[in-house]
Structure 1
């Protein structure tokens, strides 16, 4: 491999890693902005999604379950310290530290809010020139309860 070929390979890898970081940033933003169709579109159609041991049938089922569970409740999701490795020209894997905060309007039978901490382990695939999440497994290491809030207060 010539020096120029090696520089091109390294540049392609850096561009791919940056695109994957932006993909994951959109993931967190779409969850918090309640953009569930856009969230589902960040995955390959046959992506494997597992959260805290729950296996979802499809990215759309995962996104719509989030929609149905959280409704208009405010949430904050952060991903930190990405470790992304190129596994091929159109494939990669990554590990992200995560934190999420979710609270619900107070009321009878309101679910309990939480501040969660954990890790995403993911794979990515480039499809038609666009990086997508091909598999995602979220494991929470800790969940601290949060009080719900009174929207009228």
Structure 2
């Protein structure tokens, strides 16, 4: 693969991640889920490194994220400083520094405990990409956190 082909792949992956955060910010969950492969997964972690949850497949991703965000939420994502390693013409990995903010109305969990009304998080998206049917998709997305500030 020549340098122009490698750079073209990197730009395609940057645009794919931009579509991901745009869909998240606009709460277009089906669009967001469509960016994953049929067996794609999304695994966000807590700041202490523990797994918050694992979602497998676009249907589970589209169903689970809005439940955890909650209705009436405002979501904002920023991506920075990407590192993309092109492994082949149809496989790549990357790391994107990220910041997200979620504001939502007051609510309680099923046991009556209050849940956060604002979350300001900092961390990294670590996607693995694959090209299938001529389109780049997210095969695996891991979100690691370095800091999360919560307001109740």
The bucket for the TM-score relative to the shorter chain is 0.7 to 0.9
Using the size of structure 2 for normalisation, the TM-score is 0.85
Equivalences for residues 97-116 of structure 1 within 5 A: 97-106=97-106, 111-112=115-116, 113-116=118-121
Equivalent in the alignment of 1:96: 96
Unaligned runs of 5+ in 1: 1-5, 148-153
1: CA distance, partners of 2:76 / 2:115 = 17
Deviation (angstroms), 1:41: 0.4
Q: CA RMSD in A?
A: 1.6
Q: For 1:146, which of 127, 141, 151 is the aligned residue?
A: 151
Equivalences for residues 4-153 of structure 1 within 5 A: 9-52=2-45, 53=51, 54-70=53-69, 71-106=71-106, 111-112=115-116, 113-146=118-151
2: CA distance, partners of 1:65 / 1:111 = 17
Unaligned runs of 5+ in 2: 46-50
CA contact (8 A) 1:42 1:132 kept: yes
Deviation (angstroms), 1:20: 0.3
* Count of matched residue positions in the alignment of Structure 1 and Structure 2: 140
CA contact (8 A) 1:103 1:146 kept: no
Kindly report structure 1 stretches of 4+ aligned residues shifted beyond 3 Å.
106-110
Of the structure 1 ranges 46-55 and 27-36, higher mean CA displacement relative to structure 2 is found in: 46-55
Q: Matched residue of 1:34: which SS?
A: coil
1: CA distance, partners of 2:59 / 2:14 = 21
2: CA distance, partners of 1:47 / 1:117 = 23
CA radius of gyration, larger in: 1
Using the size of structure 1 for normalisation, the TM-score is 0.84
